[in-house]
Amino acid sequence: MVVPVFRWSCPGPETSILPSLFRTNPSTIDQSNGFLTVGYGSCMASSTDFLKFDEQVVKVVWPSIAAWRLGRWIGRIWGRALARGPVAAFFVGFFLAPLAALVYFWRLRPKRCRRYFVTNERILVVEGILGRVVEEAPWSRITGMEIVILPGQAALGAADVHIYEGDRVVLRLPGVSFVENFIRVCQRTQQACLMVASSLKRQAS
């Protein structure tokens, strides 16, 4: 059962203002590629050689155990235990902890570990410690996002994110924790990206 609970349609560049995470000093605009050259806080990541020139990382998200079937099964059992009260949750949690730890460390396999990068140009799915881009979607193509909660994910505080171009899903991000915060970061980043591109286009005309 798939339960979509949120759909965000990306606004045009003229409908909002630059968010505070972007500097508005004109000297920070890189005229060569139409994007801001900005400074961000530090983020935990491995090699970032896959980034383009002047591409800046806004956020890095590692998928939770809810991205995998066994993790979602753990979430379903944990959710039922929570509904029965703290005593049931304590005993069930005691038995589920080793399984949860197994899934947690399995997702960190050096050659197969995945994480999601939000940059000022695109959203990327990066695999492996050395960093290899396996999927991506530039902000110029993204028209909407949808939060999809699979069974077992709610109890773990996670959900899948589907990224749309028109009516077509171009990217799926399984098991995103704090998903509403992730959506807000994406929304602000895309709005700023589109506004900068629009401003540079007007300057060139």
pLDDT tens readout for residues 167-196: 999 999 999 999 999 999 999 999 998 888
Report which DSSP code applies to 28.
G
Give the separation between CA 195 and CA 197, rounded to whole angstroms. 5
Across 24-28, 161-165, 198-202, least confident range = 24-28
Residue 86 has pLDDT above 50, yes or no: yes
58 three-state secondary structure: strand
Residue 107 has pLDDT above 80, yes or no: yes
Give the separation between CA 161 and CA 170, rounded to whole angstroms. 11
Buried b (16+ CB within 10 A) or exposed e, 140-168: ebbbebbbbbbebbbbbebbbbbbbeeee
Report, as an integer, the average pLDDT of 139-148.
93
Give the separation between CA 113 and CA 131, rounded to whole angstroms. 9
Instruction: Say if residues 13 and 198 touch (Cβ distance below 8 Å).
Output: yes
pLDDT tens readout for residues 29-85:
333 333 333 333 333 445 577 888 888 899 999 999 999 999 999 999 999 999 999
Residue 125: pLDDT band with limits 50, 70, 90: very high
pLDDT score at 9: 54
Contacts of 75 by beta carbon, 8 Å cutoff, 6+ apart: 65, 66, 151, 152, 153, 154, 155, 156
Where would I find the beta strands (DSSP E) of 22-167?
29-30, 35-36, 57-61, 114-119, 122-127, 132-138, 144-149, 158-165
pTM of the model: 0.75
Q: 200 - beta bridge partners?
A: none
Residue 92: pLDDT band with limits 50, 70, 90: very high
Report, as an integer, the average pLDDT of 199-204.
81
59 three-state secondary structure: strand
Task: Give the residue ranges of DSSP H helices in the chain.
Answer: 69-84, 86-106, 179-204
Distances (CA, A) of 121 to 12, 132, 149, 195: 16, 17, 27, 12
